[in-house]
């Protein structure tokens, strides 16, 4: 396993692998790896001859007053976990190399996909995500890139971006990995106090409850959404949204159609902003 | 020579060429080829094992009321000229394939590079250019892409975009090709009446005059610019701008520095919007 910080070197290595007929699999992360990331790496290992992990805490996807400065980082620990997953190359660039002096280019997915839900709460977030993912895909030039489904909206935005920009890559979404009590794994779970950590699975259980009631035929989405938000508030969360959406477009479902639905939630608990979702059908 | 309209087929062909160790050279155009385009194709032929020409009149770079509908098109003529330059593949996609239903992703180079000069006159123009060029580069995946220097600002924007997004391509700018009387070749010269065509070289001669006076040490840029604009008006042009700029940043030069300078002009003459430029030093 080798760590590369230089962009040109990384690109040259991946281009050479491609030219030699190797399949390149890529897992982009912000580091502080957990079992969710490792599930992506294991699937990447299965799919690729060359497995590339990137670790980059991307400043452009953090808004003013968000947690860029205190986002958890531990490269040595990440490196050891990557080695256990048989990662071939870790791409670990500096911020100044990714966004050099004079940098001015941004990739935008416009419209509801990026302006609703998380996009409404964090207006510049997805512009930062799509820009850095486009850059990373251009540097690593993978055949397949793997993302977790925990950030469901992000995955939808990235699928849209790669399709629209004709990027020659297969985007794979992998299932959410959960703690035993149902809490979706996240680097940001580190922010929770012991007491908050005990309450945190209420987010998952609330989504399960909404999903069960939808399966049972309840059809008043707004009542389900506001009831779930109230449940979260009662447990000390500050919910940004609980939303039942079309799983493909993230639009409000038009009645009880046959399109797959997803329940998405984002809520602050103490210093952590937690997200989770559940797909129906 | 083969013409391909399908995006996936085009991408597969270019990826296969790359995998086989071939160098891919690419000339993106809006068709209605002239000697300027042919000079790019000849240089591309020299540099690439596989020479790809794209012909696509890109709607997203035209503003409301601009000449999208009447932009000259003649595929048969273009095909014959491409064959003479030993083009291997013509990429000739439909608008609906490039911008399918639901398309929402745009690449933006932000700031002065796209908001001054042509960007001030045509505010959505460069967003359309960078988006389509990013898409075409992702489809053709060339080692080298060739652009004319007639649209000097466009070339600067594309250089910035490819560097910022880490696209693995060398951007080559090629000299302006002119008619015998100095008029820069352009598909839009077709719009000129016989009488306008006779007056059109005044644009070139005006730039020559400004360049000569700069070389002679004149240093009042605004006087030179407004004098040149008046000369154009006297010959029936409606100038958008005549501007002396830093050739690298397109910023207003800070006094008589050593940075290379460029004189750029855009002016309407009848139904044609003509552009031209001249590099000093």
CA distance B165 to chain A (A): 5
Give the pairing of strands B105-109 and B144-148.
unpaired
* Cα separation, A97 vs A218, whole angstroms: 51
CA distance B43 to chain A (A): 24
> How close, in Å, is residue B70 to chain A by CA atoms?
27
CB < 8 Å to B126, chain A:
none
Residues of chain A with pLDDT under 50: none
User: Closest Cα of chain A to B227: distance in Å?
Assistant: 33
Q: Among positive and negative, which fits the CA dihedral A166, A169, A173, A179? A: negative
Give yes or no for residue B155 having a pLDDT over 80. Answer: yes
Domains within chain A, CATH numbers bracketed:
2-174 (3.40.50.620), 187-279 (3.30.1300.10)
Query: What percentage of chain B carries pLDDT values higher than 90?
Result: 94
Query: What is the structure's pLDDT at A256?
Result: 61
- Which pLDDT belongs to residue A200? 98
Q: Is the pLDDT of residue B163 over 80?
A: yes
Please, which residues have CB within 8 angstroms of residue A281's CB and are 6 or more apart in sequence? A247, A258, A259, A260, A261
When CB atoms are compared, the residue of A15, A19, A138 closest to B165 is A138
A37, A53, A139: which is closest to A90 by C-alpha?
A53
Instruction: Kindly state the DSSP code that residue B184 receives in the 8-state scheme.
Output: B
pLDDT at site A16: 95
Sign of the torsion formed by the C-alpha atoms of A27, A28, A31 and A32: negative
End-to-end CA distance of chain B: 41
If we measure between CA atoms, which residue out of B195, B275, B201, B279 comes closest to residue B244? B279
A249: closest chain B residue by CA:
B102
- Chain B residues within 8 A of A106 when measuring between CB atoms: 107-108, 110
pLDDT digits over B266-279, tens only? 999 999 999 999 99
pLDDT per residue as tens digits for the range B89-115: 999 999 999 999 999 999 999 999 999
How far apart CA B256 and CA B127 sit, in angstroms, is 32
Quick one: which of B82, B70, B1 has its CA closest to B37? B82
- Of the candidates B18, B104, B138, which has its C-beta nearest A166's C-beta? B138
For residue B110, list chain A residues with Cβ-Cβ distance below 8 A.
104-106
Contacts of B248 (CB under 8 A, 6+ apart): B156, B259, B260
Q: What is the DSSP letter of A90?
A: E
Question: Is residue A143 annotated as a catalytic residue, yes or no?
Answer: no
Residues of B whose CB is below 8 A from A109: 104-105
Contact B106 A107 (CB under 8 A): yes
Taking all residues of chain B, what is their mean pLDDT, rounded to a whole number?
96
Per the prediction, chain A carries an average pLDDT of: 96
Q: Which residue of B has its CA nearest to A168?
A: B138
Which value, in Å, is the radius of gyration of the alpha carbons in chain B? 19
Lowest mean pLDDT among A115-119, A272-276, B56-60, B255-259: B255-259
- At B260 the pLDDT is 87
pLDDT of residue A170: 98
Provide φ and ψ at B29, rounded to 5°: -140, 170
Nearest to B106 among A103, A110, A167 (CB): A110
Q: What stretch of H or E contains A110?
A: none
A15, A105, A158: which to substitute to probe chain B, counting the most B Cβ within 10 Å?
A105
Nearest to B164 among A103, A130, A165 (CB): A103
B126-146 pLDDT, tens digit each:
999 999 999 999 999 999 999
Residue B256's pLDDT is what? Answer: 61
ipTM of predicted complex: 0.95
Determine whether the interchain pair B165/A18 forms a contact, defined as Cβ–Cβ distance below 8 Å. Answer: no
Q: How far is B126 from chain A (nearest CA, A)?
A: 12
CA A144 – CA A147 distance, rounded (Å):
10
The rounded distance, in Å, linking the Cα atoms of B197 and B244 is 25
Looking at the predicted structure, is the pLDDT value of residue B281 above 90?
no
- Tally C-beta pairs within 8 A across A and B: 78
Interface contact B108-A106, CB threshold 8 A = yes
Q: Do A105 and B15 touch (CB under 8 A)?
A: no
Nearest to B7 among A7, A105, A166 (CB): A166
Can you tell me the mean pLDDT for B223-234?
98
- The pLDDT-based confidence of B22 (bands split at 50, 70, 90) is very high
Catalytic residues of B: 37
Average pLDDT for B219-238: 97
């Amino acid at each position: 396993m080798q760590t590369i910080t230089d962009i040109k070197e990384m690109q040259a290595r991946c281009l050479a692998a491609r030219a030699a007929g190797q399949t390149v699999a890529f897992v982009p992360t912000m580091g502080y790896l957990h079992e969710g990331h490792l599930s992506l790496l294991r699937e990447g290992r299965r799919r690729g001859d060359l497995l590339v992990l990137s670790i980059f805490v991307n400043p452009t996807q953090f808004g003013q007053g968000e947690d860029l400065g205190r986002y958890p980082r531990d490269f040595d620990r990440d490196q050891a976990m990557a080695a256990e997953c048989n990662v071939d190359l870790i791409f670990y660039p500096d911020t100044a190399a990714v966004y050099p002096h004079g940098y001015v280019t941004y990739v935008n997915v416009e419209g509801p996909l990026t302006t609703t839900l998380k996009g409404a709460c964090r207006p510049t977030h997805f512009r930062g995500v799509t820009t850095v993912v486009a850059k990373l895909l251009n540097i690593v030039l993978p055949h397949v890139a793997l993302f977790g489904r925990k950030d469901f909206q992000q995955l939808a935005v990235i699928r849209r971006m790669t399709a629209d920009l004709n990027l020659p890559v297969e985007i794979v979404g992998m299932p959410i990995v959960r703690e035993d009590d149902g809490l979706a794994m996240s680097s940001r779970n580190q922010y929770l106090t012991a007491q908050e950590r005990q309450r945190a699975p209420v987010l998952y259980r609330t989504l399960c409850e909404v999903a069960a009631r939808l399966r049972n035929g309840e059809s008043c989405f707004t009542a389900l959404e506001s009831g779930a938000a109230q449940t979260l508030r009662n447990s000390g969360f500050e919910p940004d949204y609980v939303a039942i959406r079309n799983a493909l477009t993230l639009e409000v479902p038009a009645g009880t159609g046959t399109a797959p639905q997803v329940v998405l939630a984002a809520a602050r608990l103490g210093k952590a902003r937690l997200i989770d979702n559940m797909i129906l059908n």
